[in-house]
Amino acid sequence: MWSKILCDVSIYDKFLLEENMAICMIRITSRPAGEAPEEIRNAWIGAVMPVNATSEGMVLSSILTHKEVMNDGDEFAVLPKDALRALGLINPQARLWWEDRVRGTSHFVFKKECCEVLPD
């Protein structure tokens, strides 16, 4: 079952890249910053997801408190459905935690320093 799911994910991600709906693929390599509990932020490590945009020109706010955060243009922006799909493959409990809190969010944003850009 898992091999089929992983195969479908890679086909979906490849489609996004080919149709210019994603600018690149990233793997989270270290704990992202944020307000979520440490164990929830650690759960992102290893997740692979398509990047929709960079944060340049975006007004950024925290997903949990909605407080405005500094945008230095050095972040990758990922659509919530793509970020949560990737997270759910490696940690379904962390995905459920986020699903309860992510309503109305346009993007998950990850600092480039905690990501690895994957080759095409």
| pLDDT reported for residue 5 | 38
Instruction: List 117's β-bridge partners, or say none.
Output: 26
- Residue 53's H or E segment, with its range, is strand 53-54
Q: Which two three-digit tokens encode residue 59? A: 């007004």
Q: What is the pLDDT along the chain (120 residues), one digit of tens a residue?
A: 334 334 444 656 665 555 556 788 899 999 998 889 999 999 999 999 999 876 666 666 666 766 777 667 788 889 889 999 999 999 999 999 999 888 777 888 899 999 999 887
- Residue 60's H or E segment, with its range, is strand 60-61
| pLDDT reported for residue 1 | 34
